[in-house]
Amino acid sequence: MNALPLLRDDVRDVATSPLIIATHAVDALIAEARLTPKPALVDERGSGAHRDLDLDTMLRSARALQPTFLAIARAAHGLRPSQTLREQLARIGREGEAAMMRATSGSNAHRGAIWIVGLLCAGAAMHAPNDIDAICASAAAIARYDDRYAPVSVTTSHGARVSERYRVAGARGEARDAFPHARLIGLPALDAARARGLDESGARLDALIAIIASLDDTCLLHRGGMIALDAAQRGAKRVMNHGGVATQEGRAALVRLDADLLALNASPGGAADLLAATLFLDSLRRLI
């Protein structure tokens, strides 16, 4: 006997199951890592500006985070943002960071992504997968609660210190503002590139470049200060002004951006995390 077709509500329930959410989160991290050529970031060409990372390490890290994203989605499924949930997710995230460090032999491959994509997994477990605004709003509401049990290392991390020194939002501000660089920059850039006929790799590169052009990336600031951030933003805007990576001039500008950042030993790691968030949200909205 043939099974009855799923009703729309049933489709939504399947699409927002914790396992589906976690699988799409890991797939987004893998897609970001494999995307080539990215400026000064790990990709299929090599390690970029990262001496302690390569593509194999990034892929091992992403796959090691499957149980973390699954636990986050399960914990948040059907709930509303709350102090209790925030602290439960923080504990899961710290366990996930430990798993990541074991998988990478101590290299920080995805610490920022555990925070950003993890929160979005929680938001996705609360809403229909195509309701991107609601997913981001709920994730932001969770992020606005303080973690009363956070270790001291959280407030003394590179990102926290850079955010305070340069007065920039950082990953925590990005989350609390409902992920504007994924929701309002990354996704529209991805859609616009596809509408122009770019292949998926080109569309994703254009989305990354759009994020770099706008983001006050704490990874760049940590490694190279304002000089590195200015070089990245100016170089990314140059790529965009030349029509993006689909044009010969835009691709040449991308090559120049890569060289400039490598010379500064600086990498737009925050933008890479937000591209992964963009790809995760994009995969969710295509489920229905």
What are the pLDDT tens digits along the chain (288 aa)? 344 444 445 555 656 799 999 999 999 999 999 999 999 999 999 999 998 999 999 999 999 999 999 999 999 999 999 999 999 999 999 999 999 999 999 999 999 999 999 999 999 999 999 999 999 999 999 999 999 888 876 765 777 788 888 889 899 999 999 999 999 999 999 999 999 999 999 999 999 999 999 999 999 999 999 999 999 999 999 999 999 999 999 999 999 999 999 999 999 999 999 999 999 999 999 997
DSSP 8-class letter at 149: T
Q: Would you say the pTM of this structure is higher than 0.85?
A: yes
Residue 44 lies in a domain: yes
Residue 40 lies in a domain: yes
Q: How many domains does the chain have?
A: 1
Residue 3 lies in a domain: no
Residue 4 lies in a domain: no
Residue 110 lies in a domain: yes
- For 185, the domain range is 9-285
Residue 268 lies in a domain: yes
Residue 2 lies in a domain: no
Residue 185 lies in a domain: yes
Q: Note the helical H segments in the chain.
A: 8-15, 18-34, 55-64, 66-76, 83-103, 111-124, 132-143, 152-155, 158-166, 170-176, 180, 187-195, 200-214, 218-241, 248-263, 269-285
Partners of 43 in the beta sheet? Answer: 46
